[in-house]
Structure 1
Amino acid sequence: MEQRTVLVVLFDGVQSLDVTGPVEVFAGAAAVRGGREPAYRIHTASLDGAPIRTSSGLMLVPDSSLADAPAPHTLLAPGGLGTREADPRLIDWLRTNAPRAQRLVSVCTGAILFAEAGLLDGRRATTHWAYCDKLARDHPAIEVEPDPIFVRDGHVATSAGVTAGIDLALALVEEDLGRDEALMVARYLVVFLRRPGNQAQFSAQLAAQTAQREPLREVQQWITEHPHENLCVDSLAARARLSPRHFARAFQTETGMTPGKYVERVRVEHARRLLEDTSDGVEEVSRACGYGTPEAMRRAFVKILGAAPAEYRRRFHAPFAAQQAPALNG
């Protein structure tokens, strides 16, 4: 099997987890192969080869300068505060050299580096939710998708904030080496293999703004605590002591989300937790979350998470049922 070189670009102000998360996945994939040749060769490089300081103050020592780095199969651009005013020399290097890689991968705001280098024009991409609007505004040629934790478009893959880089790296290992090896890596990293790429970046409670008016805030909280109740607009409006039309308009204005969408997200979030933490059947979970039928819950899961409830549960628990694998260091 061909050994794939993963080149990780380092710069001052990089987010350390954007680097170490994917690196541990690729290194783990090398470890679980036992005596076989490691599937990945990991190489880190900064512009001049000098140590860099991450956004948390941690110092990282690269293997070489970018000029002396080996030709990569996979070029990985992490994010961090250093992407806000990236060194023009780094952008020039990416513009010239990145197209030679067989696969381009960004984590978090590393997508901004690719965008500045023109590598995402005409493509679908994502980044940390807090920067999606900026990416779309500054680079209209990119089709920015703010919800998924990662997006694949041909040989280019972009991921959302921080830990989403681990999800993307696991997806790439599964693509390269197969599900069994990816499962073993996930198991020893104690992570879920794998959150579907189009899973929302955050829960409904985090995605929506908190309403300013107390009646609307109370309704938001009541929805999260009673997903099994009748949550139609008329019922919620009565609880807020507003007319249905006024309530729907005010709720969307203050939370940035329609009541229906908020309810949908809350119910899916609650159902996910039940599937992860209990042995309740799909029909029982659907009743507990206010779905009229298991089919209604299945449609909501496929729409938001890209996987049916049974498949979601199987993916979540798969790492813990995987066969014993060689222990990874640490």
Structure 2
Amino acid sequence: MGSNRVIFFIFNSVHLLDLAGAVTVFYESGCCGKNYNIHYVSPYDNPGTSSGLGFTNVSPLNSVKVTMDDIVIVAGMEIEKWNRADDHLWIPWLQSAAAIGATISSICTAAFALAAAGILNGHNCTTHWAWTTALQQKYPLLKVIENKLFVQSGRIFTSAGIATGIDLALYLVEEQHGAAFACLVAKDMVVYIRRDGMEAQNSIYLQSRQHINHHIHQIQDYITKHLQHKITIGELAELAFVSERNLTRLFKSVTGITIGQYIQSLRQEKARHLLKTKQKVAWVAKECGYNSTAQLRKLVKEAKN
């Protein structure tokens, strides 16, 4: 792919986070030194979100001619409000974009739009876990893969939705600019890793954030952003304005694991991912906060057992 253009296709009743998460990745990429030319298109003059927010700076579909180097991302929408009477307004445009060889991506329920346009026929794909069965039943020519963050089939990508749109966008950035740069963008967004599409729709990062304690979320964000450095309980306790003892007790009570286990698990998961990208072991060790490559290899090996 040689283009730096990303075209976001917006349906009416689009889910805001499905759109905003992926947009932010390409925006932050520009902040980190690799610019993307971001366009917003829609078959509607003033599309609105499922949460009631409206858009004005959106171009009509026929004003943007898609090339094979473009990335087209269709954000998920509220299926119950998706007006299929308007198929003729957008299906030819999307089919043309796919036919010309552009990278076509869907986030969450937008997989239904790709399926309706026939773009997913014969392809592996995914969508949000709550909709995988419905997608497979409605479109039997697809092969719906369950419990995956995102699925690639040629130049067609489908993601599970919500935050997984971020993972997919980071993957597309990594394709163009490499794992080290994608890591930089992820850190800017306080996302500790670009999760791999082959992983399940959960991870140690998400599993340990299923709580509502704001202070512990702040601590987890800090750990995520400083994973490459030595992190002490003392500095974390200062951040939360509590004693080390109280922080240790509180962290385990809301996450189920100790601070040390949490840091080590994040480092192992991130290291396993980065090693799969064929980066140099020394760089991976430094990026994940290991003192040496030997320590990295030992801990990753232990995590497999």
Bin of the TM-score, shorter chain as denominator length = 0.5 to 0.7
Q: 1:195 to 1:135 in 2, by over 3 A?
A: same
One-letter amino acid matched to 1:168: L
One-letter amino acid matched to 1:189: M
- Quick check: which has more Rg, 1 or 2? 1
Question: Are positions 1:146 and 2:146 aligned together?
Answer: yes
Q: Does the Cα contact within 8 Å between 2:149 and 2:200 map onto a contact in 1?
A: yes
One-letter amino acid matched to 2:36: Y
Question: Are positions 1:74 and 2:33 aligned together?
Answer: no
Q: Does the Cα contact within 8 Å between 2:71 and 2:102 map onto a contact in 1?
A: yes
Question: Are positions 1:4 and 2:35 aligned together?
Answer: no
SS in 1 for 2:8: strand
Question: Are positions 1:42 and 2:38 aligned together?
Answer: yes
Partner of 1:188: 188
Partner of 1:55: 50
Between the aligned partners of 1:203 and 1:17, the Cα distance in structure 2 is 20
Cα distance, 1:100 vs. partner?
2.1
Partner of 1:64: 59
Partner of 2:272: 311
Q: Does the Cα contact within 8 Å between 1:183 and 1:318 map onto a contact in 2?
A: no
One-letter amino acid matched to 1:41: N
Q: Does the Cα contact within 8 Å between 2:13 and 2:48 map onto a contact in 1?
A: yes
Q: Does the Cα contact within 8 Å between 1:46 and 1:62 map onto a contact in 2?
A: no
Question: Are positions 1:126 and 2:87 aligned together?
Answer: no
TM-score (norm 1): 0.61
Q: 1:75 to 1:114 in 2, by over 3 A?
A: same
Between the aligned partners of 1:281 and 1:60, the Cα distance in structure 2 is 37
Cα distance, 1:70 vs. partner?
3.9
Between the aligned partners of 1:281 and 1:148, the Cα distance in structure 2 is 19
Cα distance, 1:93 vs. partner?
2.7
One-letter amino acid matched to 1:123: H
RMSD of aligned Cα (Å): 3.5
Please point out which of 239, 257, 262 is paired with 1:277.
262
Q: Unpaired runs of 5+ in structure 2?
A: 207-254, 277-283, 290-305
SS in 2 for 1:176: helix
Q: Does the Cα contact within 8 Å between 2:73 and 2:106 map onto a contact in 1?
A: yes
Cα distance, 1:84 vs. partner?
4.0
Between the aligned partners of 1:80 and 1:319, the Cα distance in structure 2 is 37
Cα distance, 1:5 vs. partner?
1.2
Q: Does the Cα contact within 8 Å between 1:126 and 1:160 map onto a contact in 2?
A: yes
Cα distance, 1:62 vs. partner?
3.5
Alignment of 1:101-180 (within 5 A): 101-180=101-180
**Runs of 4+ in structure 1 over 3 Å off:** 82-86, 273-276, 278-282, 307-310, 312-321
TM-score (norm 2): 0.65
Between the aligned partners of 2:266 and 2:58, the Cα distance in structure 1 is 51
Q: Does the Cα contact within 8 Å between 2:61 and 2:90 map onto a contact in 1?
A: no
Q: Percent identity, please.
A: 33
